[in-house]
Copies of this chain bind each other. A is one copy, B any other.
Amino acid sequence: MTTPHFSGVAVTVDVVVLTIRDDELQVLLVERGIEPFRGMLALPGGFILPDEDAEPAARRELVEETALDGEGLYLEQLRTFATPHRDPRGRVITVAYLAIAPDLPVPAGGTDAHAARWQPVSSLLSGAVALAFDHLEIVEHAVDRARSKLEYTTLATAFCPAVFTMTELRRVYEVVWGVSIDARNFHRKVTNADDFLEPTGERRVLETGRPAALYRRGAARSLFPPMLRAAFPPVPAADPRS
């Protein structure tokens, strides 16, 4: 008790990177090249270096394993998982991070990057795709956290590129929560919230329809009044016709 127990414990970081692709919430995974769980999908992550803080370690592992740069990437600590036998190799404690990225095309192709790929979150929660270690539990925590923080913070903008339209922002809420939101009331609500959005003055011309105003993230980090999930109807099931 008088001296630290430097007794056979290792500390890792694991990162849950969420994004929206193809109108779905997706998470960035890597294929494990070594035992244990060789060939299975896992969260990007690795050991903290002897003189490194946890957050820089998370950013470093992300670059090394997925070639996803921290450029404009939102990153926050999620929680630490320390269940005794969560890693068959021994006592390994992991500090999990939640990251949120705009829909950047990750070099999922032939580069190194341990075969990094985007995977729909729904395919993990349904059990259709299995994850190594306790990484499914970590993803569940990350998704819960993201869903909560959309309510009281301006986190939704982290899913958008530096400049985005009102509809892109609204789709973030709709996809992450699985709800449908009235575009007109949404517009009023977010433009009324102080410093949530900053108009660029520019407009984006789409294939069809009236050009949409473009916005940047504002300075606010908390959102008042909050956007409450419970106020929106769940999205209707996809129509099997057409």
Contacts and interface: CB of A to CB of B under 8 A. Distances in A.
Contacts of A225: 228
A83 B56 CA distance: 10
Contact of A9 (B3, B10, B89, B226): B10
Interface in A5-42: 5-11, 34
A47 B90 contact: no
Contacts of A80: 54, 77, 79-80, 95
Contact of A48 (B2, B10, B82, B92): B82
A4 B89 contact: yes
A145 B119 CA distance: 32
A132 to B, nearest CB: 15
Interface residues of A, number: 41
A109 interface: no
A90 B6 CA distance: 9
A52 interface: yes
Contact of A50 (B7, B34, B77, B151): B7
22 contacts: A1-B47, A4-B10, A4-B47, A4-B90, A6-B8, A8-B50, A9-B9, A9-B50, A11-B11, A11-B82, A11-B93, A51-B84, A52-B84, A53-B82, A77-B80, A79-B80, A93-B93, A93-B95, A148-B152, A152-B152, A224-B228, A225-B228
